[in-house]
Every structure is written in C-alpha cells, then in structure tokens.
C-alpha cells in the first residue's frame, strides 16, 4: 500500500474555503475603481470570491476542494453527470410533457408471433384467461385520447401495446355486458394493492366499451380536479354553490369527441338547448353539440347539455362507460377555496359531483352502462371514509360482519360514505400462475426476458412478487427499463 493512497481517506468532503477577502483586496485588480457607488458587475467580483457567490457557483457538486493554485478539485465519485448543456432552459410545460409522454411502441422489441388483436368477445371468454391480446390501432388512438395509458406502465418496451386477459378482466367485462344487456348500470369500485393492475383493468373496460361502441368518458387522474391545479368558477344559481372547471371540461369534451366520434355522429339530440352559445337545433348530432364547446367559458354548459342528452331514455342510445382513476382524491376536502376562503369539498365541484351522483346511484344511467372508479395507492391522500366504506362493502359481499366506524375518530367524511353506500367492490389481487406464465411468455417472445419460460422460472418470479403484476415486472424487466 502506498502512503498517499491510504492518506487519501483523510480527505473529507467539505465546503470550499473562500479565499479571504482581505487577501484578495490586498492585491487589487487594476480595473477596480478606487471608489465607486455602483456594484462592480464584472467577472472579477466572482473571482474575489464572496462566500455567497461561491456557494451558488458550486451548488451542484457534492464535494469540492480548493487546491493551492485556487482550482477546484472534485472527487471523481461525487462528480455529477450533467448532460450536455444546450444553454437554454426548457420551456414552460416542456418538462411535464416529457414526463407525461406516452410511447406505445418500440422497434427494438421483437414482434410477437401469434399475437391476435383484441376482440370484445375475447374479454368475456374464461378460456382466454392468461393470453395476451394486442390493442388494435384505432383503439390505441382512442385510448390515448382518453388518457387510458399511464406513463408509469411498461408500454415503451414492446413492439405494440398488448394486454393480458385476467380472470378479473373476464369478471368485470361480463358484469358490464350483463348490465348493458338489461339496460342497467354497473356501479363498481376497483381496488387493490399497489401495482396490481387497477388502472389496466380500467383500460380494458374502456377497450371493451370502445369496441362495443359505448360512449366512453374517462377522468384519467382525479387529482387534476381536486388539487387546485385547474381553474374553477362558481356555477351561477346553485345552492349550495357548486364550482365548474371549464378548462378541464373543455379538455375532456375534446377527448370524448375524438374518442367516440363515430358513435356520437350517429346519435341525435332530442332537446333544444337555449342556454348554449350556439344554436343547436333538435335532431342534430351529439358531435355537433359537443362542437359548440369552442371556448372554455362555455365548456361546462355544453357538457351539461351533453349529459342531459345522454340521460334521455331511448332504445337507440348506446350505454355509457364513465371511469375515473384515483378515487381517494374525490373522497375528501379539495384544495380549492371558496370566496370566504373556506376549503371546498371535492363533491361541490360540479364535475366530481356528477360522477359521484352517478356512482352512488342517485342519478342512474337510463340507457345502461357502467361507472367505474379505481383507487390509487401510489400518490393517494388518506381517505378513511373510503377505506371503511370499501371494507364494509367487501364484507357485505362476502357475507361477513362489516367493520364499524371508530367512534372517536374525527377524520370521516359522511358525503364520501354516502357515495359508496351501495357500490360493488372488485378487489384486484395477484395473478394466478397461469396468467403469470402467459405474461412471461409474451416478454420472452418480445425478446426482453432472456430466459426460458418454464414452470420453474414462472414459479420463482411468481413467488417473489406474490403474483402482483408490477412486482413481477420489477423483478424481471427493471434492468431493461429505458
């Protein structure tokens, strides 16, 4: 061992020692004025090395040392790999766009032989459980418009988006189909542990709805409605006051329009809507009605008119699928404030109230359909009422004694509980080994799992992840993640 090497351990990361101001002042630069009332705005000021400036300059690096020549020395292991400097900071919204980017195909992945496109009857067939089906191109566009794909899911790793048919899928789609055939409404909450595939189950239901020509409406992130990040305004003539979110509504109307254009074009209006900014005569298409929303100011009015049309009982009207992801966010007080600076309950937001009224069964869908809400476990606020209500519904479904309120706990929300009084709870659990094998075979055929998929390998990953899809992906694909 060489002595310098062992002595190096004594070197410790510490704040850079500023050169003393007196020392710098003793050798004044010929350029500094002897007396001036203005700050010297030149590089020399930095060179002088006031402590504040130094700290700002070296903020990025963890450990720097000043060597006798005054040059900074950074320890190699603490060096940060800063990307190439383009010199321009990203524009507003650019970072978010990158973060929210959805990439649905990857040419580096192998095309999977024998992968069939999704057909609505596949999602109902119990014999198809454990097989992967590809999403057709048109449906991909619609689902993308509805924001059914999430950036956290593993879509960018495969040649084309495909989804696994699980027993939960078959169960849910069968219920949806049954409800629609009887012109009834399925009101269900999809819940489960983290990364078990709740959002994907919503996606599958949307895929089914789109392929069956239902009218599909989706609220992809409930937190966008309640965390006070979109504009809001009181709805006139409401008591108690409700609040509309016009910008969000406009965005949603555009998504509905784009995703369901073919269905909406076929449906005609039955009411005259004098409140709309544009005259929509009776018997014009619903698409035309939605086209009336050109400005955010009229978005909520148009959406209300659209909803009124959908609520018209008519045999020719298609069923509706209304989905929402992140139920916890609408089961609590929102971050919005009333003019009196009091916090607004999430269900006083008009759009959220509409969803909640439908979910609770207070305003049923006359033409049948399904209203689905999925809980989220990633970035979710605590909602004891929702947890309790779901536990109670689950116990009722299982025929056991439902849990009661804690008598001295103050965090309950009666409105949320009322909303979830009679919903159906669908618990998404881990996959079976059969499903896990189907998924792993798909990974191997895509060339991203370099292993033989036999029962032993499947059992190993399945046991490691308890069948939870996300955990299985983490266990097998995380090293491959871009």
Partner 1 sequence: MATTANSLRLCVRARSQLSALAICPSQASPLRRALSTTPARCAEEGVSGDADELGKKKFYDTAGDVLKDLAKVGKRQARLAQPMLDRWEQLPQAEVARLDKLTKEVIQGTAEIRRPVKVQRNSFWNTNEPDSDMITDEIGEDDFEEDDMTSMAHGKLEEHREYREYARIAIWEMPLLAKFATPFQPPKGDQVLRFRYTTYMGEIHPAAKKVVVEFSPTDLKDLTDVQVMKLKKLAGARYNPEKDIIKMSCERFEHQAQNKRYLGDLVNDMITSAKDPTDTFEDIPLDLRHHKSKVKHRFPKKWLLTEERKKEIEAERQRSYHLDQEKKASGGLIDGVKQIEQMQQLAPVREKVPVRVLR
Task: Report the interface residues with partner 1, using CB under 8 A.
Answer: 110, 407-408, 441, 443-445, 447-456, 459
* Per-position DSSP letters for 302-318, written without gaps between them: HHHHHHHHHTS--TTSP
Buried b (16+ CB within 10 A) or exposed e, 64-87: bbbeeeeeeebeeeeeeeeeeeee
Nearer to partner 1, 110 or 265 (CB): 110
| Nearest distance in Å: CB 446, partner 1 | 8
| Nearest distance in Å: CB 433, partner 1 | 9
Q: How many CB atoms lie within 10 A of CB 156?
A: 16
| Nearest distance in Å: CB 430, partner 1 | 16
Nearer to partner 1, 354 or 457 (CB): 457
Q: Which residues contact 443 (CB under 8 A, 6 or more apart)?
A: 449, 453, 476, 477
Nearer to partner 1, 396 or 454 (CB): 454
- Residue (of 340, 147, 346, 324) closest to 228 by Cα position: 346
Distances (CA, A) of 162 to 103, 150, 165, 211, 410: 13, 14, 10, 15, 45
| Distance in angstroms (rounded) separating the CA atoms of residues 264 and 285 | 7
| Nearest distance in Å: CB 441, partner 1 | 5
Q: Which residues contact 415 (CB under 8 A, 6 or more apart)?
A: 345, 347, 356
- CB-based contact 379:275 (threshold 8 Å): no
| Nearest distance in Å: CB 162, partner 1 | 15
Nearer to partner 1, 94 or 455 (CB): 455
Nearer to partner 1, 13 or 403 (CB): 403
| Nearest distance in Å: CB 208, partner 1 | 28
Nearer to partner 1, 105 or 230 (CB): 105
| Nearest distance in Å: CB 480, partner 1 | 11
- CB-based contact 126:167 (threshold 8 Å): yes
| Distance in angstroms (rounded) separating the CA atoms of residues 123 and 116 | 13
Q: Which residues make beta-bridge pairs with 218?
A: 323
| Distance in angstroms (rounded) separating the CA atoms of residues 182 and 195 | 33
Nearer to partner 1, 351 or 472 (CB): 472
Q: Say if residue 240 is preceded by a cis peptide, omega within 30 of 0.
A: yes
- The three-state secondary structure class of 101 is coil
| Nearest distance in Å: CB 153, partner 1 | 21
Nearer to partner 1, 64 or 445 (CB): 445
Nearer to partner 1, 145 or 445 (CB): 445
Nearer to partner 1, 206 or 444 (CB): 444
Phi first, then psi, for residue 129 (nearest 5°) are -60, 130
- CB-based contact 159:110 (threshold 8 Å): yes
| Nearest distance in Å: CB 431, partner 1 | 16
Nearer to partner 1, 86 or 414 (CB): 414
- The three-state secondary structure class of 314 is coil
Nearer to partner 1, 89 or 407 (CB): 407
Q: Which residues contact 48 (CB under 8 A, 6 or more apart)?
A: 19, 21, 24, 25
| Distance in angstroms (rounded) separating the CA atoms of residues 246 and 251 | 9
| Nearest distance in Å: CB 466, partner 1 | 14
- The three-state secondary structure class of 157 is helix
| Distance in angstroms (rounded) separating the CA atoms of residues 141 and 139 | 5
| Distance in angstroms (rounded) separating the CA atoms of residues 449 and 373 | 33
| Distance in angstroms (rounded) separating the CA atoms of residues 146 and 153 | 16
| Distance in angstroms (rounded) separating the CA atoms of residues 180 and 215 | 12
| Nearest distance in Å: CB 449, partner 1 | 5
| Nearest distance in Å: CB 439, partner 1 | 12
């Amino acid at each position: 061992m060489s002595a310098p090497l062992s002595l190096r351990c004594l070197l410790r990361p510490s704040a850079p020692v500023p050169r003393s101001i007196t020392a710098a002042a003793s050798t004044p630069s010929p350029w500094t004025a002897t007396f001036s009332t203005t700050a010297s705005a030149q590089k020399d000021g930095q060179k002088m090395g006031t402590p504040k400036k130094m700290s700002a300059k070296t903020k990025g690096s963890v450990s720097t040392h000043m060597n006798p020549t005054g040059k900074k020395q950074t320890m190699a292991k603490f060096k940060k790999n800063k990307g190439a400097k383009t010199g321009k900071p990203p524009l507003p919204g650019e970072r978010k766009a990158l973060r929210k980017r959805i990439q649905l195909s990857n040419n580096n992945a192998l095309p999977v032989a024998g992968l069939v496109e999704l057909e609505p009857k596949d999602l109902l067939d119990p014999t198809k459980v454990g097989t992967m089906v590809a999403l057709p191109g048109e449906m991909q566009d619609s689902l993308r418009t509805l924001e059914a794909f999430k950036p956290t899911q593993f879509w960018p790793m495969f040649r084309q988006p495909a989804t696994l048919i699980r027993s939960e899928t078959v169960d849910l789609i069968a219920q949806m189909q049954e409800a629609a055939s009887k012109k009834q409404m399925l009101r269900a909450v999809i819940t489960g542990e983290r990364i078990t595939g709740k959002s994907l189950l919503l996606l599958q239901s949307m895929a089914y709805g789109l392929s069956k020509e239902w009218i599909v409406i989706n609220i992809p992130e409930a937190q966008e409605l309640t965390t006070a990040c979109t504009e809001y305004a009181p709805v006139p003539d409401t008591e108690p006051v409700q609040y509309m979110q016009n910008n969000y509504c406009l965005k949603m109307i555009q998504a509905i329009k784009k995703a369901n254009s073919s269905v909406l074009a076929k449906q005609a209006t039955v009411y005259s809507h004098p409140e709309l900014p544009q005259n929509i005569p009776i018997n014009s298409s619903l698409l035309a009605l939605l086209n009336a929303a050109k400005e955010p100011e009229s978005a909520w009015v148009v959406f209300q008119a659209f909803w009124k049309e959908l609520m018209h009982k008519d045999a020719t009207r298609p069923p509706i699928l209304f989905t929402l992801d992140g139920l916890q966010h609408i089961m609590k007080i929102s971050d919005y404030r009333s003019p009196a600076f009091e916090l607004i309950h999430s269900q006083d937001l008009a759009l959220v109230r509409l969803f909640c009224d439908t979910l609770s069964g207070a305003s049923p869908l006359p033409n049948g359909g399904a209203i689905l809400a999925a809980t989220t476990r990633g970035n979710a606020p605590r909602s004891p009422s929702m947890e309790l209500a779901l536990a109670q519904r689950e116990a009722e479904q299982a025929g056991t004694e439902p849990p009661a309120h804690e008598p001295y706990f103050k965090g309950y929300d009666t409105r949320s509980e009322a909303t979830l009084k009679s919903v159906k709870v669908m618990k998404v659990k881990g996959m079976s080994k059969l499903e896990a094998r189907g998924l792993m075979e798909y990974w191997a055929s895509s060339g991203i799992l370099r292993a033989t998929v036999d029962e032993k390998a499947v059992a190993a990953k399945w046991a490691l992840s308890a069948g939870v899809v996300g955990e299985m992906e983490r266990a097998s694909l995380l090293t491959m993640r871009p």
